Structure 1
Amino acid sequence: MSKDANPKEALIKAAYADVHKFGTNQEFDKAVKAVNRILGVAPDDQTALHCKVVCLMQLSKFDEANKFIEKNRLSSVLIFEKAYCEYRLNKQLQALKTIDDAGVQPLPAKLKELRTQILYRLERYEDCLDAYKEIIKNSSDEYEDERRTNLSAVAANLALDKEKDVLEVPEDTYEQYFNSACIQSNRQKYVEAERKLRTSEKLCREFLEEEGASDEEILEELDVIRVQLAYCLQQQGKIKEASVIYAECLRHKPKDAALVAVASNNSVVINKDQNVFDSKKKIRAAMAEACEPKLTSRQKQTIALNNCLLALYTNAGDQVQQLTQKLTQSYPQVEFEALLIRCSQLANDKKHKEAIEQLNKFASTHKTHEFISKFAIIQLHLLQGNRKDAIETLLSLGEAKYKPGIVSALVSLYLGTDNKPAASALLKSAVEWYKQNNVSSGDLSDMWRQAAEFHLRGGASETAASSLEELLKLKPNDMKVLAQLVIAYAQFNPKRALEISRKLPKLETLTTASEIDALEAANWVMSTKAAKKTANAKVEPSPSTPATEKKKSGNRKRKGKLPKNYNAEVAPDPERWLPKYERTGFRKKRGGARAKDIIKGSQGMASGAADQYDMSNRANLNKNSPATPVYQEPAPGPRQQHRKGGHKKKKGGRF
């Protein structure tokens, strides 16, 4: 070996020793410098190139590592490292292509697990589930619990599809309890999910305390569980409890961007049209770029939709139009929801005609949303007071107009326009349609009952009878329906009425003999007060009560005395009870004023004011004096900041 080669080999050997030492101590910055010394003298050293890529990955410099791999043409050699860098750079499709194009069969264990994780990020949950099942089946090492936890996370996402069966997942660790709770919440079983989450929270605290984790680490792990718990509480209507948990979590400023996004978004949902400034701040946090790679497409879609609704609540017309268009471009599956938000804003701006045109255009091209679109159009017609247009739109629904709810709406609108014949005709046609098509969807008893009562009031006994017949099929033991049917048939078919009346229970079965005697003995002419007195008078004392004689009243009614000059043949003076100055023939000695001009009532009060201030006249109580303000309870609105010192308390009195 030449003398020139010895210093080079010595340098490489010393540099590798440094790389090993720094790597063991996790000082990867120094390790990169040591590798660079090797590459300075041996630029094609494959081991040194590999070491540098690993060091850059450990420093989370994935972009630099990926570029270094491509620059040195190491893609075919460092397949795992390149795919992992692309995975961490959120280039999931490119990472999957890197693994699949490598042509390595069978895939090594680490590449297989990385590919499965990429499938999870791509939301290909069914493929991911099959891959995890195969990995768990063919491996047995210390990472088995982690794989089973990942498997339960996949099952939780698959649980969103209610038509698919849910995989039974183990519940050995707090993570597995958490994922099991997510499965239950995605199946809308929030009470069961809450129970599992509380168990997960308890296990998590105990496990991390045993591991010697710091309070900050424990709090960070618990926040994930508690935010999911708050969601379950929110879905159960326990809004205050959920709101407190969200606020507490955000106050901790968690490092997990996805956690911040979910808590912020759910807080905005709770606020609705209240605390708008707080909601704007939180929706910006939920839509930050750092949250983008951490959220699923479903979560990002929900946050974007809530952002549009928040703009609608703030009545920002231009912003609503821009955001809904952007939402439609990013998530075409919620195009109809975006259209409804846009039309709601147009309605707020009194542009009902434009909103109706957009809905009609959408309904003509999207038949799946035609039904709901027409209901939105009906709402816009009613906001303008156009009942006739609303009726025409409902009638254009075809056979769907015979649904009970739509029939009820049409009858109400017909009666609102004083068109009773049209309402009667609609009910008749609805009855005939259900008979001809033999449709039995849901409970139609309310519709048949309303139709029968409407036709009975209108005198259409035959139509009423057919409706009652259908109602009787649904409720054969309803005696009220049977009685109504007898009344209806009695008006046009007495024989049928008599036949049906035999099915009614006999009077003896409905009332007892004592009740009949009481009804016959009752004096219906007497008032309620007199009847009570009579009933009390007839109560016989119990045997234990000693009988006492009723005392006679000491005040005897005396005969009235007649005046000495009383003449029975002459009618008495009708004004005999009035004072002399109020009688018709009375005249003052001075001035000759009539009695009606004399001031009556309290001193200094005009005669015209007597009625106004007469408290016995109850009609005056219903009229508000102009000087008396009527207090109205203010409608709830957004909170306002009170000025400091706005109210001062008077000494010795009230505010």
Structure 2
Amino acid sequence: MSGADGQPEVAAIFGRLDAAVRAGQNKRGLKACDEILKLAPRDGDALRCKAVLLIEAGRLDEALKLLGEPPLAPGMAFEKAYCLYRCGRLQEALEAASSVPADQEGALLQLEAQIHYRMGNNKEAIERYSQLFRSHGAASREVQTNVVAAYVAGGRSGEVPAVMEAMKISAQESFELAFNTACGLLETGRLADAQQQLQLAVRVGEEALYEEDLQEDEVALELAPVTAQLAYVASMLGREEEAIASYEGLLGLELDDAATASVATNNLFAALLRSAPAAASRKVAGDGVKKLDAFMERSGGVLRIKPSLESRLGAVQREAVLASYATAALLANKVDVAKEAVRSMEKQLPGAPVTAMLQASLLAREGKPREADAALASMAAADASSAPEAQLLRAQLAAASGNAQQALQHLSGIQDAAWHARPSVLATKIALMEELGLAAEAAATLSAALQHWQSATASALRAEALRWIVDHLAAVQLREGALAEAAAQYKQLLALDAAALSDAAVLTNYARLAAVCDPGAAAQLRAELGGGSGLTAAELDSLENANIAIAGVRRRADDPPVPVPASSKQEGADVAAAEQKKRKRKRQPRLPKGFDPANPGPPPDPERWLPKWQRSDAKKLRKKMKGKETKGSQGAGKVDDSLDRTNAPEEPAADSKGKAPARPAVKGKKGKGRR
């Protein structure tokens, strides 16, 4: 050390520190900071440099401890707030941000917007981003991406195109922007457009990442969020098998992104449960509990998502993961685990509709339907937006208890008219009405749903719903004897959906009704289908008679039998015998492995596959040995009559002195008597 206070040596170390920082060598920079602080423990510049280097190295706890010391606390409030945000201590970060000086307003607005976004305060997040854009200009790509994400998370997806136009950006500039734009389209229900944007995100992302010389597996890991969202869109469009395959392939990559892994796992088991048969649903739910348990921890008697993951998920995603865990435990009949999950949700998500619905489901599982219904009624009264879901669950509980009338009342109590036209709700209502014998009400309900779907935009769901409604409405009208009205329904369906001409069931029903009620429409239908069949009149008559004969054979079992002459019976028996002989075919013999047809040798025994007791040789032997002595169980076969006690000679009587005749002596060793 030269000099009294060592300033020249400290200056030299600062030179090394500056070189390390410029080269991005954090370890060397931290080492230089420690050397300076040994010589000058209160040096403010060295302390600030060390705090920033610790943050960049991800050593946030050490950085927070250092930032709490008096020399740094007043001037580095922003760095402290950022560390708290990175540690997931969002409320503390928001409080620390209030001490950031005004000259850091741009960075502060961005940090506050991110904190509010993570806390689920989407309105505040959008306000901060809007102020940032107006005052400082959202020039960086990261800020622009976060602005779009905030609008989507805040339920203002419809404003995203205008916001992107104001910022003069497009979805093709980065795969993050394309991804966030697709999320906005998903929020508005535009699934096909969202799928196109996600495919665009994949193309843009692959081009950018391959230019950075990343390997194929590394590119797949970077684009994992886009792949997960594409699988979700496929599931929403009804392509469950494709979605399940995408999720399984994604989870097979051993993702290091816990947020994407948790969302993909959650959605995978939701899709598996939807597609699994009832007998396998319990096992699928049990597997889901095990997989989701990897993202949970129990702290202080409360089940919650791991803090490292919780800070990465939005409020909606956290609620979905917790609800899925509780639902899977309930379906797997792990009632204690489900109770623990619901109790944790009551603490973390108080007042959430999904919490009340799960609580009601637990009460119903415990045999308390009245308490469950009361809880759902309170939920519907407190939150009008969740009332339809509450009414649906009430209807399900009533139907499960066998009260169809009460279930129908709950379904009819849904105020939103769009819910009544949903295929699942509509099908349930019609089934309940038919069970209760309310044919007129069923017809009126189907007519209202038909009007709703007629005004809907063209889609695969609309076409499927229209066909289902028309089929059931026509069936109701047929039972009431209104043939003309039923024929008119099918005619209207063909006018609305030209693709229905390829539906065999629709064509069959319409053709039958039109032939009876409207011959002109039948002729028009024949012309639309391509005219005649190309058969002659005699061939058509023969085909018609054959159909009549088949219909006669398939008559109901309770119809009275038609008398048939004896000659016809004999002819029918001869024909049946001929047909049976004709149908009998010779079975090809099974040849041994490696058999060469060109050099067959002696033919193999055709009965070598049968057990020995079933072979023809064994049968012949049994027939040959029948009636002869054979070995068998004890007592079987010929019996020696001399051994029968009843055939033994009588013993001589006693003499005149009353003595019995002497028995022959038994020779043996002395002392060896009978024991």
Pair in the same fold by TM > 0.5: yes
How far apart are 1:333 and its partner, in Å?
Answer: 4.4
2:314 — aligned with what? Answer: 296
Partners in 1 of 2:66 and 2:313 — Cα distance? 29
Name the amino acid aligned to 1:58. E
1:148 — aligned with what? Answer: 144
How far apart are 1:10 and its partner, in Å?
Answer: 2.9
Partners in 2 of 1:45 and 1:201 — Cα distance? 49
Name the amino acid aligned to 1:254. L
How far apart are 1:260 and its partner, in Å?
Answer: 0.9
Partners in 1 of 2:389 and 2:116 — Cα distance? 36
Residues 251, 261 of structure 2: 8 Å contact kept: yes
Identify which range, 304-313 or 78-87, moves more after superposition: 78-87
Residues 69, 82 of structure 1: 8 Å contact kept: yes
How far apart are 1:314 and its partner, in Å?
Answer: 0.7
Residue of structure 2 aligned with 1:22, choices 20, 23, 40: 20
- Equivalences for 1:467-616 in 2 at 5 Å? none
Residues 16, 34 of structure 1: 8 Å contact kept: yes
- Equivalences for 1:303-452 in 2 at 5 Å? 303-335=321-353, 337-348=354-365, 350-356=367-373, 358-359=375-376, 373=390, 376-386=393-403, 412=434, 415=437
Partners in 2 of 1:157 and 1:393 — Cα distance? 32
2:554 — aligned with what? Answer: none
Residues 266, 321 of structure 2: 8 Å contact kept: yes
2:67 — aligned with what? Answer: 69
Name the amino acid aligned to 1:256. D
Partners in 1 of 2:211 and 2:384 — Cα distance? 60
Query: What whole-Å deviation, never above 9, does each CA across 1:549-598 have from its counterpart, x for those lacking one?
Result: xxxxxxxxxxxxxxxxxxxxxxxxxxxx9xxxxxxxxxxxxxxxxxxxxx
Name the amino acid aligned to 1:280. V
How far apart are 1:297 and its partner, in Å?
Answer: 0.8
Residues 232, 267 of structure 2: 8 Å contact kept: yes
Name the amino acid aligned to 2:152. A
Query: What whole-Å deviation, never above 9, does each CA across 1:112-131 have from its counterpart, x for those lacking one?
Result: 44344334334444444454
Name the amino acid aligned to 1:20. D
Compute the RMSD of aligned alpha carbons.
Answer: 5.2
1:500 — aligned with what? Answer: none
Residues 37, 46 of structure 2: 8 Å contact kept: yes
Residues 296 and 374 (structure 1 numbering): CA distance in 2 closer, same or farther, change over 3 Å?
A: closer
Residues 79 and 186 (structure 1 numbering): CA distance in 2 closer, same or farther, change over 3 Å?
A: same
Q: Percent identity?
A: 23
Name the amino acid aligned to 1:338. T
The reply to whether residue 107 of structure 1 matches residue 81 of structure 2 is no
Question: Matched residue pairs, number?
Answer: 466
Partners in 2 of 1:263 and 1:304 — Cα distance? 14
Q: TM-score, normalised by structure 2?
A: 0.56
Residues 260, 285 of structure 1: 8 Å contact kept: no
How far apart are 1:269 and its partner, in Å?
Answer: 0.8
Query: What whole-Å deviation, never above 9, does each CA across 1:157-193 have from its counterpart, x for those lacking one?
Result: 2456669986345132232222222222222222222
Residues 264, 285 of structure 1: 8 Å contact kept: no
Which segments of 5 or more consecutive residues in structure 2 lack a partner in the other structure? 274-280, 297-304, 455-468, 493-517, 524-537, 546-565, 567-572, 575-606, 612-675
How far apart are 1:18 and its partner, in Å?
Answer: 3.0
Of Structure 1 and Structure 2, the greater helix share is in 2
How far apart are 1:318 and its partner, in Å?
Answer: 2.9
How far apart are 1:310 and its partner, in Å?
Answer: 0.5
How far apart are 1:308 and its partner, in Å?
Answer: 1.5
Residues 48 and 388 (structure 1 numbering): CA distance in 2 closer, same or farther, change over 3 Å?
A: closer
Partners in 2 of 1:183 and 1:101 — Cα distance? 34
2:290 — aligned with what? Answer: 281
- Equivalences for 1:153-232 in 2 at 5 Å? 153-159=149-155, 167-168=163-164, 170=170, 171-232=172-233
1:120 — aligned with what? Answer: 117
Partners in 1 of 2:85 and 2:142 — Cα distance? 19
Partners in 2 of 1:99 and 1:130 — Cα distance? 16
- Equivalences for 1:2-21 in 2 at 5 Å? 5-6=3-4, 8-21=6-19
Partners in 2 of 1:281 and 1:367 — Cα distance? 35
Partners in 2 of 1:80 and 1:362 — Cα distance? 42
Residues 165 and 325 (structure 1 numbering): CA distance in 2 closer, same or farther, change over 3 Å?
A: farther
SS of aligned partner of 1:212: coil
Residues 234 and 160 (structure 1 numbering): CA distance in 2 closer, same or farther, change over 3 Å?
A: farther
SS of aligned partner of 2:256: coil
Residues 190, 236 of structure 1: 8 Å contact kept: yes
Residues 383 and 67 (structure 1 numbering): CA distance in 2 closer, same or farther, change over 3 Å?
A: same
Residues 311, 319 of structure 1: 8 Å contact kept: yes
How far apart are 1:303 and its partner, in Å?
Answer: 0.9
How far apart are 1:313 and its partner, in Å?
Answer: 1.5
Residues 305, 338 of structure 1: 8 Å contact kept: yes
Query: What whole-Å deviation, never above 9, does each CA across 1:596-635 have from its counterpart, x for those lacking one?
Result: xxxxxxxxxxxxxxxxxxx99xxxxxxxxxxxxxxxxxxx
Name the amino acid aligned to 1:150. N
1:258 — aligned with what? Answer: 259
Partners in 2 of 1:196 and 1:442 — Cα distance? 27
Name the amino acid aligned to 1:185. L
Residues 276 and 34 (structure 1 numbering): CA distance in 2 closer, same or farther, change over 3 Å?
A: same
Residues 391, 413 of structure 2: 8 Å contact kept: no
How far apart are 1:202 and its partner, in Å?
Answer: 1.8
Partners in 2 of 1:407 and 1:81 — Cα distance? 59
Partners in 2 of 1:410 and 1:237 — Cα distance? 26
Residues 205, 218 of structure 1: 8 Å contact kept: yes
Residues 192 and 653 (structure 1 numbering): CA distance in 2 closer, same or farther, change over 3 Å?
A: farther
SS of aligned partner of 2:173: coil
